């Protein structure tokens, strides 16, 4: 009997967790960042609180603390507001995501990275771009990213 109760609770938890809502019933909107490369990368996404926003694509003067992403790993950028609303709050309705090589980020000063613009890739994504790729952002870019503004260009 105790096993049946435990399994019932477990199944109920799994069902509620798969509906895009947290255990408290709140819905989260997610952008998936996928590292499909053979190595580690770091990434950073500008948001409404960033010191710099698109169309200005310089890197900030202070290290923003990019997220480390291992080979084959996925990171979820989650928010309680729909991404359309959040991106519309940005100065140019564009979300910039920067990718850095692990050896560059780990072995160089932030001032060198910033001044020499030592990035692997920058994606400039509109809400239409994100919707078209189903909020799944791969690094390196694949065929789903065709037509999306990137620097350096493909």
Beta strands in the chain (DSSP E): 29-35, 41-45, 67-69, 74-79, 95-101, 121-125, 136-139, 149-151
Q: Is residue 9 part of a domain?
A: no
**Phi/psi at 150 (nearest 5 deg)?**
-135, 155
Model-level pTM? Answer: 0.78
Q: Is residue 114 part of a domain?
A: yes
Do 14 and 6 contact (CB within 8 A), yes or no? no
Distance (Å, whole) CA 51 – CA 79: 19
Sign of the Cα pseudo-torsion (78, 80, 81, 82, in order): positive
**50, 125, 134 from 83: Cα distances, Å:** 16, 11, 12
Q: Is residue 47 part of a domain?
A: yes
Q: Is residue 109 part of a domain?
A: yes
User: How many domains would you assign to the chain?
Assistant: 1
Domain ranges, residue 41: 26-151
pLDDT at position 56: 67
Q: Is residue 13 part of a domain?
A: no
Q: Is residue 132 part of a domain?
A: yes
Distance (Å, whole) CA 120 – CA 7: 47
pLDDT at position 39: 97
**45, 80, 89, 95 from 136: Cα distances, Å:** 14, 17, 21, 14
Q: Is residue 74 part of a domain?
A: yes
Q: Is residue 75 part of a domain?
A: yes
User: pLDDT per position in the chain (154 positions), as tens?
Assistant: 554 444 444 444 444 444 444 456 778 889 999 999 999 999 998 765 555 655 667 888 889 899 999 999 999 988 778 887 877 777 678 888 999 999 999 999 999 999 999 999 999 999 999 999 999 999 999 999 999 999 998 7
């Amino acid at each position: 009997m105790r096993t049946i109760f435990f399994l019932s609770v477990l199944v109920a938890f799994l069902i509620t967790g798969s509906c895009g809502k947290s255990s408290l019933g709140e819905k989260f909107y997610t952008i998936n960042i996928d590292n499909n490369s053979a190595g580690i990368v770091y990434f950073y996404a500008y948001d409404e609180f960033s010191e710099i926003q698109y169309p200005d694509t310089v890197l900030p003067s202070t290290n923003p603390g990019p997220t480390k992403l291992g080979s084959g790993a996925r990171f979820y950028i989650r928010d309680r507001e729909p991404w359309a609303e959040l991106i519309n709050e940005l100065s140019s309705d564009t979300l910039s995501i920067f990718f850095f090589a692990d050896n560059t980020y780990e072995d160089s000063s932030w001032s060198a990275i910033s001044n020499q613009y030592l990035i692997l890739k920058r994606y400039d994504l509109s809400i239409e771009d994100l919707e078209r790729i189903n909020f799944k952002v791969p690094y390196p870019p694949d065929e789903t990213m065709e037509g999306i503004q990137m620097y350096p260009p493909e």
